[in-house]
């Protein structure tokens, strides 16, 4: 009878140990699942951040090239405007000279000193 009691007690202790081991395994399994979930979330966040960084870099490159194009367009517009102003000024100066010559021809007989003075100032 002692043998049976000893055997039953041994089985009970082994059963308790197995239950404790099962609880430990379940706790570790739960911890592993939590770590896996957190790693998955971290990986997804890293992927999203990488995708956003890539999109931002593409936008930066596009805006940089667009800015360079606009800068070049503006420089071309400035050059064209300067050319127009220079041409317009040149034409205006020639028209003024022409008018002065016409005035000189027309008004010299009437006021020679005044017309000569204007002619000297404008030429």
**Distances, alpha carbon 60 to alpha carbons 21, 48, 63, 72, in Å:** 57, 18, 5, 18
Average pLDDT over residues 36-51: 96
**pLDDT, tens digit, for every residue of 67-85?**
999 999 999 998 888 887 7
How far apart CA 17 and CA 9 sit, in angstroms, is 12
Average pLDDT over residues 57-63: 95
Per-residue pLDDT, 119: 58
Confidence bin at 107 (pLDDT 50/70/90): low
Contact by Cβ (8 Å): 88, 113: no
How much is the mean pLDDT over the chain?
A: 84
Quote the pTM value: 0.50
């Amino acid at each position: 009878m002692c043998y049976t009691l000893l055997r039953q007690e041994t089985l009970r202790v082994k059963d308790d140990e197995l239950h404790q081991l099962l609880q430990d395994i379940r706790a570790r399994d739960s911890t592993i699942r939590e770590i896996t979930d957190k790693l998955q979330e971290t990986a997804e966040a890293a992927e999203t951040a990488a995708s956003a960084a890539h999109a931002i870099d593409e936008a930066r490159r596009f805006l940089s090239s667009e800015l360079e194009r606009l800068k070049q367009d503006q420089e071309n517009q400035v050059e064209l405007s300067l050319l127009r102003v220079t041409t317009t000024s040149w034409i205006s100066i020639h028209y003024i000279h022409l008018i002065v010559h016409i005035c000189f021809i027309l008004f010299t007989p009437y006021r020679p000193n005044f017309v000569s003075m204007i002619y000297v100032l404008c030429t």
